Structure 1
C-alpha cells in the first residue's frame, strides 16, 4: 500500500486538463468543421470570439443553461452560432442545427479528446491499490469524478476507456450545481456510500486553482493541483492558501511522488 494514500477513503478527479485534454484546440476543431460546412473565417477572430461568447454564455446561462430553461444542446448551439457570426461567418439557419449536432457528437469521441500524460498509468496504480486493499481485507478507496460538464460526461469517459476505473461520476449539469460550490462535493461524499467519512479522508485532484484545489481544501479535503504554471506563480495569483507541496506539473509528476511516498498530506 502506498503510505501517502493509506488514509484516503475517497479519491475524486476533475476531467478536462486533468484526465483528458483536447486533441487540438477547440477553435481549430470548430474552424475545420466550419470549413466542411462551407463556413470560413479567420482563426484569430474565431479564437477571440469563442472566448468572449463562452464567458458571456457562462454568465447569462451558467452550467450549460441548466437552470435557464434551455437544454445543454441549445447552449452549445448559441455558442457556435454567435462565435461564427461575430467572426463574420454567419452559419446559415438551415445548416446550424446539423452543424451543432455534429459538433456535440464529435466531442464525445477520441477524435477530439486524448488522455493527459500519465492519466492511464495513475488510474491503473489506483486500481492496483484497490485490489491490494481487498486482498488484505481492508475497505478499498472509492474513486469518483466531479466535473463541470454536461450530460455527455459518461459517454466521453466510456469512449476514452476510463469510465471503468470509477465507482461514480458527477457532472455539474445533472447535479444542478457547479464547482466550486460545496454542494457538488457533498454529493460525492453521499455517492461514495462510505460510512462516517471525514473530510481529511477525501482527496480531490484537478487543474483548477479555484474550482478544484481551493474548493476542496475549503471543505477540509486534501487536494492536489495539476497545473503547468509553477507554484510561485499560482500563489501570487490565487493567494497563500495554495501550498506549493501539493502543486504538480503533471499527473506523471504526481504519480512519481506518490509511489515514492514523497507526499505528506
Structure 2
C-alpha cells in the first residue's frame, strides 16, 4: 500500500509549455498591426520588463491592488517601448489582445507524456492538484488544454498571495487536500521552487529534468524524472 495519496503539480514547463518564444508571439502581434519589431529584441525586452515588474509588484500585483490583466498590460507595453514602439493606443490594444491570446491553447502545448501520465496517476487512485506561480488565467489554460478535469483544485500565486518557494502556498495545498506532508508529493521542473521547497515542508518531490537544462545541483537519481513517463516507477519506490 503506497503511503502517497496526493500529487501536486507545477504547470508551466512541467505539464504545459509555450508553443513558441514570447518574442515570436509579440512580433507576430506587431506585424498584424503593420509594425516590424525583431523577435529577438522583443525577447530581450520582455525579460527586462518582466523582471522589473516582478520585483516592483510581486505575485502579479496582488498586494498592491493590481489585477493580473493590469500587471501584464504594463509588462507588454514596456516590452514594446523598450523595443522602440511608443504609440499609446497601439500599445494598449496589443497588451489587451496578447493577455487574452495567452489564455488559448493556440499558445500552449502539452509536454510529452503529460496527459497519459496524469491519466495513469488518476487510475492508480491518486488525488491531484496544481500549485503554480501563475495568474488567474491558469484555470482557463488548463481547460483549453484538456487537463483541468484531472485536478481537484488549482492554486496560483496570484490567488494565494504566496509564490514558490514560499512554503505557505504548499501549506494551503496540503490543508485543502487534508493530508500531512508525508502523504503528498510535488512534481516540478525548478530545483529551488519545486523540488527543494516541497521537501522543506516534509513532502516528497520529483524534479523533471529536460535535456537542455544544463548544469544543475545534484539530486538523488530516484528523485529525477528524465520524462514524465518515469513518475509512477519513481513513486513506487517511495
Q: TM-score range by the shorter chain?
A: over 0.9
Structure 1 residue 230, shift from structure 2 partner: 8.4
The total of aligned residue pairs comes to 238
Q: 1:229 to 1:217 in 2, by over 3 A?
A: farther
Classify the secondary structure of the residue corresponding to 2:8. Answer: strand
Paired position in structure 2 for 1:137: none
Of 12, 28, 33, the match for 1:32: 28
CA distances 1:126-150 after superposition (whole Å, capped 9, x unpaired): 12112xxxxxxxxxx3210001111
CA distance in 2, matches of 1:179, 1:262: 23
The answer to whether the aligner puts 1:245 opposite 2:222 as a matched pair is yes
Within 5 Å, give how 1:21-60 maps onto structure 2: 21-60=17-56
The answer to whether the aligner puts 1:264 opposite 2:227 as a matched pair is no
Paired position in structure 1 for 2:105: 110
Q: 1:224 to 1:64 in 2, by over 3 A?
A: same
Within 5 Å, give how 1:1-265 maps onto structure 2: 6-90=2-86, 92-130=87-125, 141-192=126-177, 194=178, 197-229=179-211, 233-235=215-217, 242-252=219-229, 254-255=230-231, 258-259=232-233, 264-265=237-238
CA distance in 2, matches of 1:186, 1:26: 32
Task: Give the root-mean-square deviation of aligned CA atoms.
Answer: 1.9
CA distances 1:107-135 after superposition (whole Å, capped 9, x unpaired): 111110011110000011012112xxxxx
Classify the secondary structure of the residue corresponding to 1:245. Answer: helix
CA distance in 1, matches of 2:214, 2:202: 23
5+ unaligned residues in a row in structure 2: which ranges?
none
CA distance in 2, matches of 1:143, 1:172: 18
Q: Structure 2-normalised TM-score?
A: 0.93
Structure 1 residue 57, shift from structure 2 partner: 1.0
Classify the secondary structure of the residue corresponding to 2:215. Answer: helix
Q: Structure 1-normalised TM-score?
A: 0.84
Structure 1 residue 88, shift from structure 2 partner: 1.6
**Residues 231 and 244, structure 1, Cα contact 8 Å, conserved in 2:** no
Which of the pair has more CA radius of gyration?
1
